[in-house]
């Protein structure tokens, strides 16, 4: 039986229904799967030209055409993709024809597309490619644009909002796969007017200046200790101004490096504040808030990071400073009150006291919420031993000018009594809030975590809007750390554009608190381990005195190590905690052991490096449960 089909190019083709090669699932599914104008090809067509005309007819009259073979597993994969997307497709099974005809048709496909193999996929009259290309288009979202007919209509493949740790890493990675990438970054000044260059929080007002100031403070200790090693160091004096100038100069060199890096990687940099118009369009504004231009993108990355929280009490915004300001203060901070008791508060207290300032920390509840509390309290004790004063269970009520100083009034949460003192500087470290409001995300239905402005993402870092992704500090309940933002940003770009499959592993992320006695940890805190694995936990621990501090008994007996082991899994180590010098360096290495599933026996069988602090983890025998004193012996 023969019938005629009128194709868009007005070519009349005679086809044999016997030769129809569209897949034949149940007839009810046929209607759903196949677009209009199927039955467009005849085995009787002799010339390549005739075949090409027929192919073009198919392509012109069907949204999706798959040139396929019934036995080809990649063709099945491709069809599965469209089935799952509930998209109708027309499949022409080339192997339903005599072998020489199949080969001729593949020659024609080669002429038309440069690709001889199947599957050979077309969407909206455009050639997509084979299975890998279709999978890639699904991964990077262009498949949806092809289906919607908006493919290749955007200025950029990938627009990153936020030139910090996560944003820069992701933009550069995406660009390395040949994608057209833009990165928008603009720093809004702090309430005190502090602003900075490209690179985000870590480089400008976070990890980098913090670690350098921490080092400056430790050097002060080293100078004191040096007398025990025979040095005479007269005139121990520290210049805040010189330290700040040198650190800021260094940061400026990094800002410059980030800009040239983007240029080298061919990422277009906009020093602009971005706001969404719709899910593919941004309006850009300069630092004065004036409109600059509109740009469009296929995919977006939200990597806007966080900024310090300012409470409502009088004087908070206009008289207090935060981590946005402290690292570039022109004048020494003098007598300082720090409000807050987590990472930022305690690290800042540590370096300020180490540099010789009078420091008080006002604590609302506990130190270092979320960390092993046994160790958090030891950190508190050493800070106190270094001269930091603590005002426990108090919250501030007001800060007012008092001549050159600031008068602070606070309330005790225990008995309601009033606390009053004067300071030169009041430093707020009560948390950080994501920069996710006022940029149009609400209108796009990007979902936020309940009762917060942190963005909800799935395991692929994808928000509730298909082409918008998020990494770093803006993301719900993930660890707010630079390497976390970088890794999440890179992996995302690899998945989108580099055929990567790996997801971020949020387990076993190591971290260090850079207080004078540094604290590194990875895995569970003792409290969390007890909760997660009731009756299954064995804790090994040891107090020790680092050799380098033994002559003068610095931080006497405060250094400490703890391994939390899971009895039900042959004492697999699920928590590592170290309080002592060089905590970051030591924890980094042991984190790998935990990631690889090391057991307590593996630690026992490891030969220590003598004389080091890290070697205590190879010789721990005392369990907490035994109640025995946990003091390290000699060599």
Q: Any idea which residues carry the catalytic annotation?
A: 610
Identity of the residue, 480 or 525, whose beta carbon is nearer to ligand FAD in the bound complex = 480
Among 57, 129, 472, 581, binds ligand FAD (CB under 6 A): 472
Q: Which is nearer to ligand FAD, 40 or 336 (CB)?
A: 336
520 scored as a contact of ligand FAD (CB under 6 A)? no
Size of the site for ligand NDP (CB under 6 A): 25
Does 429 help bind ligand NDP (rule: CB under 6 A)?
A: yes
Assess 525 for contact with ligand FAD (CB under 6 A).
no
366 lines the binding site for ligand NDP (CB under 6 A)? yes
Calculate helix-pair angle for 99-113, 48-61, nearest 10 degrees: 70
Q: Of 463, 442, 383, 498, whose CA–CA distance to 135 is shortest?
A: 498
Does the bond joining 611 to the residue before it have cis omega, within 30 degrees of 0? Answer: yes
User: 622: which 2 tokens?
Assistant: 């005392």
Does 521 engage in binding with ligand NDP (CB under 6 A)? no
Partner touching 435 among ligand NDP, ligand FAD, none, CB below 5 to 8 Å by kind = ligand FAD
Nearest residue to 465 via CA among 305, 300, 275, 303: 300
Instruction: Please answer whether residues 252 and 246 qualify as being in contact, where contact means their C-beta atoms are separated by less than 8 angstroms.
Output: no
The answer to whether residues 42 and 13 touch, using CB atoms and an 8 Å cutoff, is: yes
Identified binder of ligand FAD from the candidate list 57, 141, 164, 396, rule CB under 6 A: 164
Residue 339 interacts with, from ligand FAD, ligand NDP, none (CB under 5-8 Å by kind): ligand NDP
Out of 514, 578, 590, 603, point to the residue binding ligand NDP (CB under 6 A): 514
Phi, psi of 228 (to 5 degrees): -70, -15
Q: Where does this chain touch ligand FAD (CB under 6 A) — which range of 50-58, 199-207, 249-257, 611-619? A: 199-207
Residue 201 touches which of ligand FAD, ligand NDP, none (Cβ within 5-8 Å per kind) = ligand FAD
Which residue shows structure tokens 């599965």? Answer: 80
Tell me which of ligand FAD, ligand NDP, none is bound by residue 341, counting a contact when its beta carbon lies within the kind-specific cut-off of 5 to 8 angstroms: ligand NDP
Nearer of residues 341 and 470 to ligand NDP, judged by Cβ: 341
For the CB of residue 342, give the shortest distance to ligand NDP in the complex, in Å. Answer: 3
Q: Does 341 bind ligand NDP (CB under 6 A)?
A: yes
Residue 85 DSSP code: T
- The residue within the footprint of ligand NDP, chosen from 173, 325, 347, 571 (CB under 6 A), is 347
Verify binding: residue 184, ligand FAD, rule CB under 6 A: yes
The dihedrals phi and psi of 359, each to the nearest 5 degrees, come to: -125, 135
Compute the distance between CA of residue 541 and CA of residue 521 in angstroms, rounded to an integer. 14
Q: Please select the residue that binds ligand NDP; options are 480, 515, 545, 587, rule is CB under 6 A.
A: 480
Question: Can residue 345 be called a binding residue for ligand FAD (CB under 6 A)?
Answer: no
Stretch that binds ligand NDP, among 47-55, 162-170, 508-516, 567-575 (CB under 6 A): 508-516
Residue 594 interacts, among ligand NDP, ligand FAD, none and using kind-specific CB cut-offs from 5 to 8 Å, with none
Pair of tokens at residue 147: 């289906």
Find all residues with CB under 8 Å of 23, minimum gap 6, and list them: 33, 68, 79, 91, 93
Rounded distance, CA 528 to CA 526, Å? 6
The full 3-state SS of 286-325, as one line of letters, equals: CCCCCEEEEEEEEEEEECCCEEECCCCCCCHHHHCEEHHH
* Nearest-angstrom CA–CA distance, 279 and 444: 6
Give 193's contacts (C-beta < 8 A, 6+ positions apart): none
Closer to ligand FAD at the Cβ: 92 or 159?
159
Q: What are 541's two structure tokens?
A: 């621990």
Beta carbon of residue 478, minimum distance to ligand NDP (angstroms, whole number) = 9
Cα angle value 103/104/107 (rounded, 5°): 90
Nearest to 82 by CA among 115, 55, 121, 37: 121
CB-CB neighbours of 112 under 10 Å: 18
Rounded to whole angstroms, the Cα distance separating 181 from 155 reads 9
Q: Which residues contact 235 (CB under 8 A, 6 or more apart)?
A: none
298 binds ligand NDP (CB under 6 A): no
For 149-160, letters b (16+ CB in 10 Å) and e give eebeebbbbbbb
| 160 touching ligand FAD, by CB under 6 A | no
Q: Of the two residues 433 and 615, which places its CB atom closer to ligand FAD in the complex?
A: 433
- Count the residues of the shown chain that bind ligand FAD, applying the rule CB under 6 A: 33
Is 339 near ligand NDP (CB under 6 A)? Answer: yes
- Closest-approach residue to ligand NDP (CB): 342
Angstrom distance (rounded) from CA 339 to CA 310: 11
Stretch that binds ligand FAD, among 147-155, 297-305, 382-390, 453-461 (CB under 6 A): 297-305
Does the protein bind ligand FAD through residue 185 (CB under 6 A)?
Answer: yes
Residue in 200, 333, 510, 575 binding ligand FAD, rule: CB under 6 A? 200
Residue with tokens 């990597």: 303
Q: Which of residues 408-447 bind ligand FAD (CB under 6 A)?
A: 435, 439
Helices (H) and strands (E) in the chain, counts: 18, 28
Among 53, 104, 106, 323, binds ligand FAD (CB under 6 A): 323
Q: Does 430 help bind ligand NDP (rule: CB under 6 A)?
A: yes
Q: Which residues bind ligand NDP (CB under 6 A)?
A: 311, 339-345, 347, 364-366, 369, 395, 429-432, 479-481, 511-514
Q: Which residues bind ligand FAD (CB under 6 A)?
A: 161-167, 184-187, 200-202, 206-207, 210, 273-274, 303-305, 323, 344, 435, 439, 472-473, 480-483, 485
């Amino acid at each position: 039986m023969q019938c005629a089909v009128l194709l868009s190019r007005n070519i009349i083709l005679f086809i044999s229904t016997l030769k129809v090669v569209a897949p034949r699932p149940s007839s009810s599914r046929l209607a759903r799967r196949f677009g209009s104008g199927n039955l467009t090809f005849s085995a009787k067509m002799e010339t390549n030209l005739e075949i090409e005309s027929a192919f073009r007819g198919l392509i012109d009259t069907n949204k999706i055409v798959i040139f396929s073979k019934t036995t080809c597993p990649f063709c099945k994969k491709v069809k599965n993709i469209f089935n799952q997307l509930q998209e109708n497709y027309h499949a022409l099974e080339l192997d339903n024809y005599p072998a020489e005809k199949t080969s001729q048709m593949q020659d024609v496909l080669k002429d038309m597309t440069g690709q001889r193999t199947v599957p050979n996929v077309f969407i909206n009259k455009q050639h997509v490619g084979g299975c890998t290309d279709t999978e890639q288009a699904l991964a990077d979202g262009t498949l949806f644009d092809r289906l919607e007919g908006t493919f290749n209509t955007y200025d950029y493949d990938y627009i990153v909002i936020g030139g910090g740790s996560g944003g820069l890493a992701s933009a550069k990675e995406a660009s390395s796969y040949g994608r057209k990438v833009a990165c928008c970054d603009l720093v809004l000044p702090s309430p005190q007017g502090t602003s900075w260059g490209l690179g985000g929080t870590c480089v400008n007002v976070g990890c980098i200046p913090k670690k350098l100031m921490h080092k400056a403070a430790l050097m002060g200790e080293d100078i004191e200790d040096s007398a025990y090693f025979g040095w005479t160091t007269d005139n121990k004096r520290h210049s805040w101004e010189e330290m700040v100038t040198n650190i800021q100069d260094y940061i400026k060199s990094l800002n410059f490096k980030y800009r040239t890096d983007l240029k080298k990687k061919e990422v277009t940099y906009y020093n602009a504040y971005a706001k969404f118009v719709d899910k593919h369009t941004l309006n850009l504004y300069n630092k004065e808030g004036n409109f600059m231009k509109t740009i469009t993108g296929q995919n977006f990355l939200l990597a806007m990071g966080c900024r310090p929280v300012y409470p409502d009490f009088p004087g908070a915004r206009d008289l207090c400073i935060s981590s946005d300001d402290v690292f570039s203060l022109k004048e020494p901070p003098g007598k300082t009150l720090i409000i807050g008791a987590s990472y930022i508060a305690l690290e800042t207290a540590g370096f300020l006291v180490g540099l010789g300032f009078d420091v008080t920390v006002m604590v609302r509840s506990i130190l270092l919420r979320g960390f092993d509390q046994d160790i958090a309290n030891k950190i508190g004790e050493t800070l106190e031993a270094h001269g930091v004063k603590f005002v426990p269970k108090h919250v501030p009520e007001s800060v007012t000018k008092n001549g050159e100083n600031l008068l602070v009034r606070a309330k005790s949460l225990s008995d309601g009594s009033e606390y009053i003192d004067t300071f030169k500087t009041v430093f707020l470290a009560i948390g950080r809030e994501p920069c996710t409001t006022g940029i149009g995300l609400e209108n796009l239905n990007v979902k936020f975590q309940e009762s917060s402005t942190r963005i909800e993402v799935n395991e692929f870092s994808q928000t509730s809007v298909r082409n918008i992704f998020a990494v770093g500090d803006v993301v719900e309940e993930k660890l707010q750390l630079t390497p976390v933002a970088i890794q999440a940003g890179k992996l995302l770009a690899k998945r989108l554009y580099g055929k990567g499959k790996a997801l971020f592993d949020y387990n076993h992320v190591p971290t260090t608190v850079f207080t004078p006695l540094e604290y590194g940890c990875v895995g569970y805190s003792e409290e969390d381990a007890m909760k997660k694995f009731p009756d299954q936990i064995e804790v090994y621990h040891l107090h020790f005195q680092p050799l380098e501090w033994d002559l003068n008994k610095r931080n006497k007996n405060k250094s400490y190590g703890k391994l939390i082991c899971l009895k039900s899994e042959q004492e697999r180590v699920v928590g590592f905690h170290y309080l002592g010098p060089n905590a970051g360096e030591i924890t980094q290495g042991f984190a790998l052991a935990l990631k690889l599933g090391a057991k307590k026996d593996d630690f026992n069988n490891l030969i220590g490096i003598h004389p080091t602090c890290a070697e205590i983890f190879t010789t721990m025998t005392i369990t907490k449960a035994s109640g025995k004193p946990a003091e390290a012996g000699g060599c």
